[in-house]
Amino acid sequence: MKEGAGTATSAASEQTLQVPVLASQTAIASMGTSFGMFSWICDGTLDLGSYCIQRSMIDGVNLLFLGVLCILLLVGSIRKHYNISIRTRDWLFIVVSICCLLTSIAYFVAGFWNLIAKNDGHSLGSLLLNLVRALVWISFSVSLVLQLSKWIRILNSVWWVAYFSLLSALNIEIISAKGGIQIIDIVQWLANFLLLICAFKNTKQILSQSSQDGYSLSEPLVVKNFENSITGPEEASFLSKLSFSWVGPLLSLGHSKPLVLENIPPLVSENEAKLAYQKFAQAWDSLLREKGSNNTRNLALLVIAKVYLKENISVAIYAFLRTISIVVSPLILYGFVYFATHREENLNEGVFMLVCLIISKVVESLSQRHWFFNSRKSGMRMRSALMVAVYQKQIKLSSLGRRRHSTGEVLNYVAVDAYRTGEFPWWFHLAWSFVLQLFLAIGVLLWIIGSGALFGLIPLLICGFLNVPFAKLLQKCQFQCMVAQDGRLRATSEILNSMKIIKLQSWEEKFKSLIESSRENEFKWLSEAQLKKVYGTLLYWMSPTIVSSAAFFGCLLLGSAPLNASTIFTVLVTLRTMGEPVRMIPEALSAIIQVKVSFDRLNAFLLDDELKDDGIRRYPVMHNVEKSLEIQDGIFSWDPESTINPTLLEINLKVGLGQKIAVCGSVGAGKSSLLYAILGEIPKISGTVDVVGSIAYVSQNAWIQSGTVRDNILYGKPMDTKKYENAINACALDKDINTFNHGDLTEIGQRGLNMSGGQKQRIQLARAVYNDADIYLLDDPFSAVDAHTGATLFNDCVMTALGKKTVILVTHQVEFLSEVDKILVVEGGQITQSGSYEELLKDGMAFERLVNAHKDAISTFGPLNPESQGEVQKADMIESDENYRSNPTKENSKAENSLRGVQLTEEEEKEIGDVGWKPFWDYIFVAKGLLLLVTAIITHCGFLAFQAAATYWLALAIRIPKITSTMLIVVYTVISLTSAVFVYLRSYLAALLGLKASKAFFSGFTNAIFKAPMLFFDSTPVGRILTRASSDMSIVDNDIPFSVIFVIAGGTELVVTIVVMATVTWPVLVVAILVLVATKYVQGYYLSTARELIRINGTTKAPVTNYVSETSLGAVTIRAFRSADRFFQNYLKLVDSDAGLFFYSNATIEWLVLRIEALQNLTLFTAAFLIVLLPNGYVSPGLVGLSLSYALSLTGAQIFFTRWYCNLSNYIISVERIKQFMHIPEEPPAIIEGKRPPSSWPSKGRIELHSLRIKYRPNAPLVLKGITCAFKEGTRVGVVGRTGSGKTTLISALFRLVEPTSGNIIIDGLDICSIGLKDLRMKLSIIPQEPTLFKGSIRTNLDPLGLYSDDEIWGALEKCQLKAVVSSLPNLLDSSVSDEGENWSAGQRQLFCLGRVLLKRNRILVLDEATASIDSATDAVLQRIIRQEFSECTVITVAHRVPTVIDSDMVMVLSFGKLVEYDEPSELLHANSYFSKLVAEYWSSCRRNS
């Protein structure tokens, strides 16, 4: 029983064991059936121990991971929760990604090779496996650079580690069994090892990211450290320099956030302007000693050549290598086509040609990138050196030199000429390397087709010679266009600086027409230049066709070479290498000629006359020296070449230490010239000038820097709080500063536009006081302030704060003369009298006349009893001091100061980030050029179609025996010439589009500027407007039109090239598409940084030109304070800031182009590799030649497209910037039809103010606070008040420079706000506070609109005391007026302004501090003339001098924007009024000083 039971148990057990075995066998059988694909792939067998099956299973795992990755990406895109800041930008990941991409390409090639070579059922399975593996490796490549979230990073890390583990196990198993593995397995194992490293790095980054998230306070530090990691090329490794990887951190930062100026790394010392200038200056001095300043050779050019020769030798080597690599490309194509014809001979030959292609393309790419970058870096150094040299020269320039070179011209030397010389190295190397390339290409052509090439050289020479006159014509057009542009910009600058007077006089139309006429002349030459470029394009595209056709006919006639595929396509590629030199050499020569012109202009400026250091002998202050200043037998002349009429004659002056000297005399007597002689500004003909100690100078026309009030007072010196406060108090600035919202940190606009005349004068006086000099030269500092402030300044500043200093005071205020130690009376350039007040009264007629004129003026105070005056003064002086100090709410657009937290000069507006296609469509729609654009695109497509048809014809027809060689060439020529017609139409339409856009943008910009309210000009620096009118407008004119069409051309050409290549070797399409995707990604990555760099650069150019302009205007003050070095250092920083952006912009574009070239070279190498691997007879040699001829141009096409796309993206920023100023809020219309006043209006001149309230901006406080009064017709109304009380705002309201917030102004029953601005302003006359003259003649300044006869003009000159001066000039009324009237004194300029109103003779006249800069005697004469000539007119006089308003019919007293008194002066004088206090103060100073 037991045995039977045991047997049964054993049988049952065996049966039980057999069930799973049978089940497994059944399962395996069913697997073999269901997974028939595996059996098909792996040689028809399914064995889990098979390496093929195991490898396929690993592929399955990879596909599973890939599916999960796709799901995560899909979920993330739906939720849109990706954090862009954690995208991988590590260069290890980028390199490994490229390796994965190459592995993928290898699998593609292997799969298709097996398919072509074997062509059986198993080869299809092999193809499928290889395609799957290629897909997996592409997935690895993408996953490395696109890690959008933490979970994707984790998945990638797990995937890479799992794949490495599985593959390593399989490879170890194979090696142990077989003793070796295949090469492709080794390659992918190595790539897998790199993936493993990336997985570990990914894990580390995930952990560090988690720790950062846990401690968010560390983030700013991380960002800061990251920004600090941005370094220059000098600190980078060799590979980093070679690949421009050193600029990677900047691109990464720019991609993560919009860049600001602070993010831009500073230049290294060898690229800084300081070192560049030092080298230039040393070489300049050396050559100047050798050659002499009279040498006819261009010293500036010789110096640049000497300094930068060595670094340009390396650039020349790069250019040479690039030229050689370009020229060998036709030979490589010839070798490929030959190999395709004789494929059966040797495969090694094909591999050798592929290696040669790779080497030549790598050398071409690297050498060209470093040529471009290093030549521009060298150019940047040249540019910086010359910009600094011009600036330094400007500070040293003599008065004679300043007359030869106006401020506008100096700006051009910096902004135009110096920038142009910066392009010199690039153009120079381009010229000689293209000449070499042309000759080498001709050599290649002769080698390939022999004597037949001579037939092609004849039309080539003809085309080349045709280019020469064409280039000359184009250069002439460009030169004339530049000349016209210079004239327009000079006029624009002058108009912008004088916009207030233009608006007051309603001259907008006149000056706008002046700008437009300049623009018309400029536009005429611009049109010619653009249309000539169209003919140049036609010549460029026709010449290869004509030359190639002639060469083919030469081969046919002479039989020098067979017309086969290798000959034809090699000739075409060779001609393509010749085409660019033929087109660019004339352009390069033209650019070099322009650079030579710039060098000549710069050379002439740098060699011009400088101030002589030997003019003045300077000594330090000694204890035993009593002399402070001495001039002996001094003769000085502004024109040293003409000694007939010297400016100052026989000047003998000795000033003791601590003396107070006053200089007085009539207008134009030579008072200011005497101060200039002491400063050394005016050339000394003979005599000696000894100065002991340092000098501080206060100019007659206040020179204020852009910056804060504090900056202007400290003037570069360290802050000493006690001394600073003393200076402020002494110059009566304490109350002003206390009421500024930003205190002494209040920004002062350009030329002090948001400060009153008095405030500007007191700020520069405080600057002088704080400077703590030994000698003070004060040129009429009290003319711009009221009597009380003038007395305060004289007593507290001149006599107290400067009590121990030597002071020489030029003044017209006779009341101060009795207090000084000595008075000098200047007449006709000579010191006619010298002595104390009492001595001169006894001895001198001239001085007596001045004093008598002053006494006549103050005699009108007669009714006021001196005793009661004294009582008033004693009782109310403290109250007056507290209540009447100036309110900073400066009239005429000074409201920015009253906006809490907002400074006056607004930050320049700029777009941030990618604004997409909006600016481009703005460009098209503003120009109304959509039809032109569409037509241009269609014509270009036609051009490309005919070009492709011509080359296809050659590739296909060459195999057809029936087609003769003659027919082949004729058809090719006809098709190609037809394509030239289309390219001509394309370029012509692009030029028309550009010209339309130029007109539209200029017109819109100019209209907007002239219609802008005055507040816009007060809050916008002139340089900011000029930058848009010059460089931005130039880009719209010259660069954008062809950039648009080049982008379209480059994009379509790229697509056509890839399509042609794909028709021959279709697998290349896969690589090409991937490369295009990668290119688009890299391009976008670059543009996010480049766009901001260009925008920031747009804001760094204006400060450079502004600083040059500011320095030019204040050169005398800068030299007087001996602060030229400090200004020089500040200028170096501005130049370096601008150069840094240029440097990094160039580095980033080369970074981009190098990577795009590398990517497109992958497509080229793949195409060449496939051609080598193709079996014999698979593709005809003609199609091989066609494919490779297009493939060789692929990289060029991609770079062309990328460069112009990026250029357009950068250029279009100029459209943004101009368009910002095309939408400025407009002031009210000039004329309102239907509401025009009668021609006789105003017939009486009655003015009524009803509850007039004025504020400059909606959120600003009121400046005028409800003024109600009436100015009767024919009366003389004096308006008085402290500085900032609202006087000039009242005048601004009368002329509607600012619109009333509420209330109204009625003139002869008509509300002035109901009529047009022109109708109003043409009927009012004004002599403004700051006299303005324009460059031109005396006639055009007195009568800009040409309304009056010569007799009328002479009559006006006689009345304003200028007839004698003008009559003595050789050209009379046509005598010149220089920039801003610099060749006339301030007083004479004011008299010219008086002449203007004497001509107009309107019923209402406004005098705004009209006689502030003239002496009392002249003032008395003019007041008499005004009374006579305008006896029936309403005259409103705003004045600081009490005598000017004392004889008015009515006096209006303003205080803090309120009307405090309005009555007859006699009534106000007898009452205890504000006006009587003002008169009392003035009378007190007069009594004290008489």
User: pLDDT-based confidence at 863, cuts 50/70/90?
Assistant: very low
Position 626 pLDDT exceeds 90: no
Contact 1030, 1100 (CB under 8 A): no
More confident residue, 675 or 542: 675
Contact 699, 758 (CB under 8 A): no
State which H helix or E strand residue 466 sits in: helix 453-497
CA 1319 remoteness from chain centre: 39
Q: Which two tokens stand for residue 3?
A: 């045995």
User: pLDDT-based confidence at 320, cuts 50/70/90?
Assistant: very high
pLDDT for the residue 1457: 82
Structure-token match 């059966």, residue found:
344
Please tell me what DSSP assigns to residue 1038: I
For the chain, percent helix, then strand, then coil, each to nearest 5? Answer: 70, 10, 20
> Mean pLDDT over residues 765-782, rounded?
86
Contact 1267, 1252 (CB under 8 A): yes
Angle at 199 between CA 198 and CA 205, to 5 degrees: 85
Reference 766, options 750, 742, 741, 785; nearest CA is: 785
Q: What is the pTM of this model?
A: 0.68
Q: Which two tokens stand for residue 171?
A: 């490879």
Angle at 788 between CA 782 and CA 791, to 5 degrees: 55
Torsion sign over Cα 1281, 1285, 1288, 1293 = negative
User: pLDDT-based confidence at 1450, cuts 50/70/90?
Assistant: confident
Amino acid residing at 314: S
Read off the pLDDT of residues 1245-1273 as tens digits, 9 standing for 90 and up. Answer: 888 888 888 887 777 778 888 888 888 88
Which of 674-678, 878-882, 1120-1124 bottoms out in mean pLDDT, i.e. has the lowest? 878-882
Dihedral of the alpha carbons of 204, 207, 208, 212, in degrees to the nearest 10: 170
Read off the pLDDT of residues 947-973 as tens digits, 9 standing for 90 and up. Answer: 888 888 877 777 777 777 788 888 888
Position 40 pLDDT exceeds 50: no
Torsion sign over Cα 1331, 1336, 1342, 1347 = negative
Question: What's the CA gap between 806 and 1029, in Å, rounded?
Answer: 47
Position 122 pLDDT exceeds 80: no
pLDDT for the residue 642: 66
pLDDT for the residue 32: 38
Q: What is the average pLDDT score of the chain?
A: 76
Reference 1309, options 1260, 1247, 1230, 1354; nearest CA is: 1247
> Mean pLDDT over residues 546-550, rounded?
81
pLDDT for the residue 880: 34
Read off the pLDDT of residues 1306-1315 as tens digits, 9 standing for 90 and up. Answer: 888 888 888 8
**What are residue 1452's DSSP bridge partners?**
1279, 1462
Reference 478, options 1044, 1038, 1039, 1214; nearest CA is: 1038
**What residues have CB less than 8 Å from 171, skipping those under 6 apart?**
181, 185, 189
Question: What's the CA gap between 802 and 476, in Å, rounded?
Answer: 60
Read off the pLDDT of residues 1110-1162 as tens digits, 9 standing for 90 and up. Answer: 888 888 888 888 888 888 888 898 898 888 888 888 888 888 888 888 888 88
pLDDT for the residue 371: 92
Question: What's the CA gap between 601 and 417, in Å, rounded?
Answer: 8
Contact 1315, 1237 (CB under 8 A): yes
Read off the pLDDT of residues 288-319 as tens digits, 9 standing for 90 and up. Answer: 887 665 566 778 888 888 888 888 898 999 99
Read off the pLDDT of residues 470-512 as tens digits, 9 standing for 90 and up. Answer: 777 877 787 788 788 877 887 888 888 788 888 888 888 888 8
Question: What's the CA gap between 122 and 306, in Å, rounded?
Answer: 71
Read off the pLDDT of residues 633-649 as tens digits, 9 standing for 90 and up. Answer: 888 887 776 666 787 88
* 196 SS3 class: helix
- Number of C-beta neighbours around residue 771 at 10 A: 23
Percent of all residues in the chain with a pLDDT value above 90, rounded to a whole number: 2
CA 655 remoteness from chain centre: 50
Question: What's the CA gap between 949 and 954, in Å, rounded?
Answer: 9
* 833 SS3 class: strand
Q: Which two tokens stand for residue 272?
A: 């800084």
**What residues have CB less than 8 Å from 1146, skipping those under 6 apart?**
372, 373, 376, 377, 380
Contact 459, 578 (CB under 8 A): no
Read off the pLDDT of residues 711-733 as tens digits, 9 standing for 90 and up. Answer: 888 888 888 888 888 888 888 88
pLDDT for the residue 1440: 63
User: pLDDT-based confidence at 16, cuts 50/70/90?
Assistant: very low
* 1436 SS3 class: strand
> Mean pLDDT over residues 1241-1246, rounded?
83
User: pLDDT-based confidence at 162, cuts 50/70/90?
Assistant: confident
Strands (E), 751-838: 775-779, 806-810, 822-827, 830-835
User: pLDDT-based confidence at 1394, cuts 50/70/90?
Assistant: confident
The alpha-carbon radius of gyration of the chain (Å, integer) is 42
Read off the pLDDT of residues 508-542 as tens digits, 9 standing for 90 and up. Answer: 888 888 888 888 888 888 888 888 888 777 877 77
Reference 1144, options 224, 254, 238; nearest CA is: 254
Position 1393 pLDDT exceeds 50: yes
Question: What's the CA gap between 1184 and 336, in Å, rounded?
Answer: 8
> Mean pLDDT over residues 973-981, rounded?
85
> Mean pLDDT over residues 1402-1407, rounded?
83
User: pLDDT-based confidence at 126, cuts 50/70/90?
Assistant: low
Amino acid residing at 1212: I
Contact 965, 556 (CB under 8 A): yes
